[in-house]
């Protein structure tokens, strides 16, 4: 079985300070991991993905995430928050080649607030 846990439902930071959104996963197989962002009243947009290549993955808008197998984590970071980063962020795990709904698992989401 696989699961994704986003440890914080809400994170609030000041503009210009670092962002850390935490994600832990459990999987019996080598997973593919993704971060998606959803701005208010918008669909989900892919930020970055990890698919067993480099463990440090760079995404759009200055975000990056590091896959740490020993910690089963895939935390999302950004050195300096911008007001436009305020949104909800979803961590997703997919088992390549698996079929059935078990193969697609979304975290519960983390709402990021950026204070001026």
Partner 1 sequence: DAGVIQSPRHEVTEMGQEVTLRCKPISGHDYLFWYRQTMMRGLELLIYFNNNVPIDDSGMPEDRFSAKMPNASFSTLKIQPSEPRDSAVYFCASSKQENIQYFGAGTRLSVL
The reply on whether position 101 binds partner 1 by CB under 8 A is yes
Minimum Å distance from CB 65 to partner 1?
Answer: 15
| Cα gap 76→63, rounded to integer Å | 7
Question: Which CB, 41 or 70, lies closer to partner 1?
Answer: 41
CA atoms within 13 A on the CB side of 31: 27
Given the DSSP bridges, would you call strands 64-68 and 73-78 parallel, antiparallel or unpaired?
A: antiparallel
Among 79, 104, 113, 115, binds partner 1 (CB under 8 A): 104
The reply on whether position 35 binds partner 1 by CB under 8 A is no
115 — phi, psi (to 5°)? -90, 140
Among 7, 86, 94, 111, binds partner 1 (CB under 8 A): 94
Q: How many residues bind partner 1 (CB under 8 A)?
A: 22
Among 40, 56, 100, 116, binds partner 1 (CB under 8 A): 100
Among 61, 96, 113, 115, binds partner 1 (CB under 8 A): 96
The reply on whether position 42 binds partner 1 by CB under 8 A is yes
| Cα gap 107→103, rounded to integer Å | 13
Task: Classify the C-alpha dihedral 103-35-68-7 as positive or negative.
Answer: negative
């Amino acid at each position: 079985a696989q699961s994704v846990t986003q440890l914080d439902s809400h994170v609030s930071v000041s503009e210009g300070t670092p962002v850390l959104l935490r994600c832990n996963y459990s999987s019996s197989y080598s997973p593919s991991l993704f971060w998606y962002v959803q701005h208010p009243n918008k669909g989900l947009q892919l930020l970055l993905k990890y698919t067993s290549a480099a463990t440090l993955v760079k995404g759009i808008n200055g975000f990056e995430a590091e896959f740490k197998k020993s910690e089963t984590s895939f935390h999302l970071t950004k050195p300096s928050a911008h007001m436009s980063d305020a949104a909800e962020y979803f961590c997703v795990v997919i088992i390549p080649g698996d079929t059935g709904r078990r193969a697609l698992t979304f975290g519960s989401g983390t709402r990021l607030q950026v204070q001026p």
